Chain A
Amino acid sequence: MLELIAGSKLEKAINSGQFVVTGELGPPKGADLTAFRHHAEGMRNHVEACNITDNQTAIVRTSSIACGAVLVQMGIEPIIQMVVRDRNRICLQSDVLGAYALGIKNMLCLAGDHQMFGNEPGSKGVYDIDSMQLLKGLQTLRDEKKFMGGEELEGDISYFLGAVENPFADPFEYRVDRLEKKINAGASFIQTQCIFDLDRFEKWMEMVRERGLHKKVAILGGVTPMKSLGAARYMKNNVSGITIPDELVERLKGAEDKKAEGLKIAIETIERLKEIEGVAGVHIMAIAWEEVVPEIVERAGLYPRPKL
């Protein structure tokens, strides 16, 4: 086993070489966390860690750090998302210190959807730094104990850093360069955008393996079960960076029980991802359908989770 950086459960699972499973939780558009806790409870024994979105699609929700702290209290491991859309480098670094102080050990750095898409389209976007600079900055803060501005950090801090990559965005050939760049900037794990176009994903993984990048970073393939034909069409047409092949839409269209078919597609996707060399695990993003995660994990043959 490699030397651990932060010693989070996620990091231990990745280092053990087991096929890792993470889930995703979207905080509510309010401060009542009853449903959030309920969904987290459902995932407790089925995933190594829960990724908590940070005002996804630029819609105001309870903060990812607050929700992360709730998970820590529950004894479930969080991965908190941090988008650069809403915070400058002062706030981002301050939030990381705060999150760490609350017991959060996994931080996922990303740009975030543009504020124009959310429920505050007139807001001022921050974009002081980009996701690459956030990764690099947090790596430096952790390893060299220096803030982005160069000042010394007081005491020690050790978190596990992750990033996202989207093999379905363009230019396609740059997506592997970008992965490498994120590894160089400090990413230890990568969660990908939802995978529906497996052919394109496999082509991307081939390029990843050619450069040996799968040995430098743990790639967790993003899996999203489609709940309905409408949801599939919505994602296909409205969510940036997601491509859904027409065959899948047709398959869903032809199915009597859309939900069952959506689940079947997700499970088949995981089965295929398990076979791809260099895929270290899956990240299940059951957007607004979190209760289904345990069933997916079980039916994909990933339950019970191995002991660490």
Chain B
Amino acid sequence: MIIAERKPLEEIAAMAAPYKRVLVLGCNTCVAVCMAGGQKEAEETAALLRIHRKKENVGGEVEVFSIERQCEFEMIDDVLEKLKGYDLIVSLACGVGVQTMVEREPSLRVVPGLNTTSMGYPLEQGVWVERCLGCGDCVLHLTMGICPITRCAKSILNGPCGGSAEGKCELGKDVDCAWHLIHERLTSFGRIGDLAEIQPPKDWRSSHHGGARTTVREDVRIDRGE
């Protein structure tokens, strides 16, 4: 899932200050799961914003609404007329949602209410961990299901660096060394010999280094004919 966290209220308030009719728009899928941007968080954010604006003597109104996914044209279209009525939309979607909305309707003024952090999963209540960088060329089959591109701070493909100590990364004792974990798993499966092979440099073109990526599946595209 996509993980995000709300921007500091002061930052959101500053973005919204020049606008009279403001809509805090939640997104009820990924960011609702990480408790950053669903309906409930949108209501909370709007309430806090109203209090803040009152204190700072900023007039106008702040309303709340949410849609299932701000990253899909169809779902935006369902409520587009309503959205057009606001001077500013504070989107509580990930960065994709903000961009999808302005791409669909350029007349909308949309600002981000969240900082999008990563793709990962909830480890426990209140803790989300990053697990995928979306590099476009998965190596998890080589690394026993643990991603060194994401979880090694140096994205090393050839085993732990010299900074790994007692299973922890040189970045800090609260960060697991991904290669230590991979080493343990390879050992337990009797496949430590796999590590002897020198993995060649990665082709980063499938990652962001080739520019923003577009995925095309011709087999599922709708042929609209001539």
11 new A-B contacts, CB < 8 A, other than A181-B196, A184-B198, are A128-B201, A130-B161, A131-B158, A165-B162, A170-B167, A174-B195, A178-B159, A180-B196, A181-B198, A240-B170, A241-B164
Q: Mark A83-96, 1 if CB is under 8 A from B, else 0.
A: 01100010000000
Chain B interface, DSSP helix/strand/loop, else mixed: loop
- The stretch of A72-80, A108-116, A280-288 that contacts the partner chain: A108-116
Please pick, from B160, B198, B202, the residue contacting A185 in the complex, using a CB distance under 8 A.
Answer: B198
**B171 at interface (Cβ–Cβ under 8 A)?**
yes
- Between-chain CB contacts (< 8 Å), 22 pairs: A84-B154, A85-B154, A114-B154, A114-B171, A116-B171, A129-B201, A130-B154, A130-B158, A131-B158, A132-B156, A133-B200, A133-B201, A136-B198, A136-B200, A148-B201, A169-B162, A171-B184, A181-B158, A181-B198, A184-B196, A241-B165, A243-B165
Q: Does A269 contact B (CB under 8 A)?
A: no
CA distance A180 to B198 in the complex (A): 11
Interface string of A101-130 (1 = CB under 8 A from B): 000000000110110110000000101111
B183 touching A241, Cβ below 8 Å: no
Tell me whether B225 is interfacial, beta carbon within 8 Å: no
Q: Is A161's beta carbon under 8 Å from chain B?
A: no
- Is B180 on the interface with A (CB-CB < 8 A)? yes
Q: How large is the interface on B (under 10, 10 to 19, 20 to 34, 35 or more residues)?
A: 20 to 34
- Given the complex, which residues of B lie within 8 Å of A266, measured CB to CB? none
User: A182 to chain B: closest CB distance in Å?
Assistant: 9
Say if the beta carbon of A166 comes within 8 Å of chain B. yes
**A contact residues around B157 at 8 Å (CB):** 130, 132-133
Determine whether B81 belongs to the interface, using a CB cutoff of 8 Å to chain A: no
> How extensive is the interface on chain A, given as a class?
35 or more
Mask of B176-207 contacts with A, CB within 8 angstroms, 1/0? 01001001100000001001101111101000
Say how far A250's CB is from chain B's closest CB, in angstroms: 21
Q: Are A169 and B159 in contact (CB under 8 A)?
A: no
**Is A164 part of the contact surface with B, judged by Cβ < 8 Å?**
yes
Q: Which residues of B contact A85 (CB under 8 A)?
A: 154
Q: Mark A179-206, 1 if CB is under 8 A from B, else 0.
A: 0110011000000010000000000000
Cβ of B166 under 8 Å from chain A = yes
In the bound complex, CA of A168 to CA of B183 (Å): 16
A177–B200 Cα gap in the complex (Å)? 17
Contact between chains at A130 and B156 (CB < 8 Å): yes
Determine the chain A residues whose CB is within 8 A of the CB of B126 once the complex forms: none
Tell me if A132 and B198 are in contact (CB < 8 A): yes
User: Is B163 part of the binding interface, using a Cβ–Cβ cutoff of 8 Å?
Assistant: yes
Does B180 lie within 8 Å of A171, measured CB to CB?
yes
Q: Is B48 part of the binding interface, using a Cβ–Cβ cutoff of 8 Å?
A: no
Q: Ordered nearest first, which 4 A-B pairs have the shortest CB separation?
A: A166-B162, A240-B170, A240-B163, A132-B158
Does residue A162 face the partner (Cβ distance < 8 Å to B)? no
CB distance from B200 to the nearest CB of A (A): 7
With most chain A CB atoms within 10 A of its CB, the pick from B154, B162, B165, B170 is B162
Q: Closest chain B residue to A186 by CB distance? A: B198
A137 close to B (CB within 8 Å): yes
**Residues in A whose Cβ lies below 8 Å from that of B184:** 171
Judge whether A170 and B165 touch: CB under 8 Å: yes
Query: How far apart sit A127 and B156, CA to CA, in the bound complex (Å)?
Result: 8
What chain B residues lie within 8 Å of A241 (beta carbons)?
A: 162-165, 170
Bound-complex Cα distance A260 to B122 (A): 54
- Nearest CB on B from A195, distance (A): 13
A residues 125-156 touching B (CB-CB < 8 Å): 125, 127-133, 136-137, 148
